Amino acid sequence: MGGAGVYPNWEAIYRDNVGWVYGLLFSKVGSRPDAEDLTTEVFLAALRPLRVSATVREVRSYLLATARTVLADHWRRTLGREITTLDDELFDPAVPDAATSRDRAAEADRILSDLPENYRTILRLRFLDGLTLKEAAAEMNTTVGNAKVLQHRALRAAAKVAERIGV
Amino acid sequence: MSRVGRVVEKLLAGRRLRRVRVDPDSDAELRTAILLRSARVGAGSVREEFVTSLQQRLSAELATDAAPPAPVTRRRRFVQLAATAAASIGVGVGIDRLVLAGGGVVAAGPPATPKELQPDTGAWLAVLPSSDLPEGGVRRFDLGTVTGFLRRTNGTVAAVSGICTHYPCRLVLNDTAHELECPCHRAAFSVTGAVLRHELPIQLGPLPGFEVREVDGMVEVFAPRTPGS
């Protein structure tokens, strides 16, 4: 749907935007139940103030602003400070989906490719392939304890790489 | 395991994050964990089941919105909403998308008393034999389109919705405590629908009720018909 158009009704607003709102929030919290809860909060908060006569672009900007507040609240009530934020510089209301999953995969690749092989493997198995610690340990022919330590070190190293390359 | 390690494991297990104190030095690790987790194939794709249940929830919110205009206008709007929704999801018009009699906004500012759910295209549907609901008893019913809990107090049968008013999760009957519990956010309601406790940062509304009657030894609930029937 083009940015200057308008939606026929609120259900069209919802159906057209729920996907990217969820994807964006998932990329900021990393878990499905939290992303679903926050998506629920965004639409509950945004739907009433939204007028169906608003343009697509206006609707999306409003949803993004709401999502930003909802995410900030989430971090305040869990860890007490904002671990991730929603920045709007990358967000194009005309193509809201663009800034999420594909970019994330590319960023992950850049980080992983900068790590020693065993670090890269443990992170790939656990985060990208979804293996349990036990399964990952078996895959790497090591003990669960070793895998745990390796994962911890690998994540710390990955965080340093991420900071260095600015993702 | 370190605290940040536990938070990361929780994230990998797909569990909700609770309030926890984590060393700020670990923030970058947590951010990287989130980034890596969200790079998994399909990670950012929303579940259709979730999309549908939230749509029902929003429909109910809008249906209860603002001061009620003339009943005819309201009715037409709800019928239209229900029809659009039914078309988009195929089956299962939930009562959540239908009329809440009277005004009141369930989530934003809960009404003092629970409202009665009145579908606009409904019917009296038999739920269970009266003999299966003894005095003091509570029973779940599930009609496909709606789900709730029946109870008999002083001989009279009443029913409340079986869906949490915060987030569309199915409530579970705790028979011992005689209350309805939400597994999603540990909210609890009395069997009459009153909010007993919750840990949510919002005000929670009471559970709406259903119209119930007993005819020929059967308990009947006024509920929407299955679409197409």
In chain B, which residues fall in CATH 2.102.10.10? 49-224
Q: Which fold has domain A101-165?
A: Arc Repressor Mutant, subunit A (1.10.10)
- Overall average pLDDT of the A51-58 stretch: 81
**pLDDT category of residue B31 using cuts at 50, 70 and 90:** very high
- Given the structure tokens 């949510």, which residue do they identify? B200
HEC states along A80-125? CCCCCCCCCCCCCCCCHHHHCHHHHHHHHHHHHCCCCHHHHHHHHH
Q: Is the Cβ pair A11, B47 closer than 8 Å?
A: no
- Residue B44, classed as helix, strand or coil, is coil
Residues of B in Cβ contact (< 8 Å) with A22: 44, 46, 50
What residue ranges do the domains of chain A occupy? 10-99, 101-165
The pairing of strands B218-224 and B122-129 is antiparallel
Residue A150 has pLDDT above 60, yes or no: yes
Greater confidence, A79 or B205?
A79
Q: Which residues of A touch B22 (CB under 8 A)?
A: 79
Considering Cα of A10, then A13, then A19, then A21, what sign does the dihedral take? negative
B58 with A167: Cβ contact below 8 A: no
Contact residues on chain B for A84, CB-CB shorter than 8 A: 31, 34
Query: Which tens digits make up the pLDDT trace of B183-193?
Result: 777 789 999 99
State the pLDDT at residue A6. Answer: 84
Say what the pLDDT of residue A98 is: 56
- Of A39-43, A113-117, B106-110, B116-120, the range with the lowest mean pLDDT is B106-110
Q: What is the pTM of this model?
A: 0.59
Q: How far apart are CA B23 and CA B3, in angstroms?
A: 8
Residue B84 is predicted with a pLDDT of 35
CB A153 within 8 A of CB A119: yes
Q: Is the pLDDT of residue A161 over 50?
A: yes
Helix (H) or strand (E) holding A78: helix A56-78
CATH class, domain B49-224, is mainly beta
Most confident of A156-165, B131-140, B174-183: A156-165
Instruction: Report the C-alpha gap between B151 and B135 in whole angstroms.
Output: 8
- Comparing alpha-carbon positions, the chain A residue that sits nearest to B6 is A152
Contact B127, B143 (CB under 8 A): yes
Strand order in the sheet with B195-197: B172-174, B179-182, B187-190, B195-197
Residues of chain B with pLDDT > 70: what percent? Answer: 69
- Kindly indicate the confidence band of residue B33, based on its pLDDT and cuts at 50, 70 and 90: very high
Residue B124 confidence (pLDDT): 84
Which residue is it, tokens 């009720």? B209
B54, closest residue in chain A (CA to CA): A40
Measured N-to-C along each axis, helices B27-37 and B3-12 cross at an angle, to the nearest 10 degrees, of 10
Residue of A61 and B122 predicted with greater confidence: A61
Whether B176 contacts B161, CB under 8 Å: no
CA proximity to B205, closest of B102, B113, B119 = B113
Complex ipTM more than 0.90, yes or no: yes
Per-residue pLDDT at A89: 52
**Per-residue pLDDT at B11:** 94
